[in-house]
Amino acid sequence: MIASTFVDALRFIGDNPGLLLHLTAAHLELSLTALGIALVLALPLGLWLGHRHRGLFLALGVSSVGRALPSLVLIAFMTLTPLGIGFWNNTLALTVLAIPSILTNAYFGIVGVDRDVVEAARGMGLSERQILFRVELPLGLPLVMAGIRIAAIFVIATATIAAIAGGGGLGEIIVDQASYGLSGVIGAALCVSALTLVAAVLLTLLQRAASRRPEPNA
């Protein structure tokens, strides 16, 4: 009986490719917009703070608070803003959720780079900017990329819940059993799980590839 439910779900997926693709596109649009904004806000800040070895308190604080923010609560809070209930309130919520991982990991990635290497580079006359981009960032890349990867997965997964606040995406089917039936809900749940798994694998591969860059001469 349970097997038949999952068989029905697969049939739903087969019967509704257009709908599912459309919702997946909306899902990704929301996720990538939020991730993009978070990267613009948090990545430079994290890298710069790490480079200057300042703001440990900020990085730790943002990390603690960020983890304590239940995603549903944040999505609900954002419906109370003038952004309405559609795309932008959810984008804001997801951006806030993505920032902690990106900021903290960028900071710790750069801060953890061997100071001797940095000093040597400074001794060679490289500018601060050159030090950050040619020495610290390549060496700290694994941790920085890990932060981006964690944030991306978190955002794509949480975008599912955004459906209750008008965000659309695959979550729209999952919260709407009355329209799509149990087969639809299970089908969409399988789809969104597959989506996050694929994203996780891709980003892990990307992270590994980026970490295998040859180290610069120090």
- Counting residues that bind another protein (by CB under 8 A) gives 49
Note whether 10 binds another protein by CB under 8 A: no
Cβ(89)–Cβ(81) under 8 Å? yes
**Cβ 191 vs Cβ 13: under 8 Å:** yes
Under the binding rule (CB under 8 A), the answer on residue 19 touching another protein is: no
Enclosing H/E stretch for 193: helix 177-211
> Pattern 167-206, binding to another protein, x per CB under 8 A?
----xx-xxxxxx--x--xx-xxx-xx--xx--x------
118 binds another protein (CB under 8 A): no
Q: Which residues contact 207 (CB under 8 A, 6 or more apart)?
A: 142, 145, 146, 149
User: Which among 41-49, 51-59, 126-134, 161-169 is the span making contact with another protein, rule CB under 8 A?
Assistant: 161-169
The answer for residues whose C-beta is within 8 angstroms of residue 146's C-beta and 6 or more apart is 105, 207
Nearest Cα neighbor of 92 from 166, 146, 142 is: 166
Which listed range, 11-19, 70-78, 107-115, 136-144, lies at the site for another protein (CB under 8 A)? 70-78
- Using the rule CB under 8 A, give the single segment among 51-59, 122-130, 140-148, 163-171 that binds another protein: 163-171
Closest distance between another protein and the C-beta of residue 188, in Å? Answer: 8
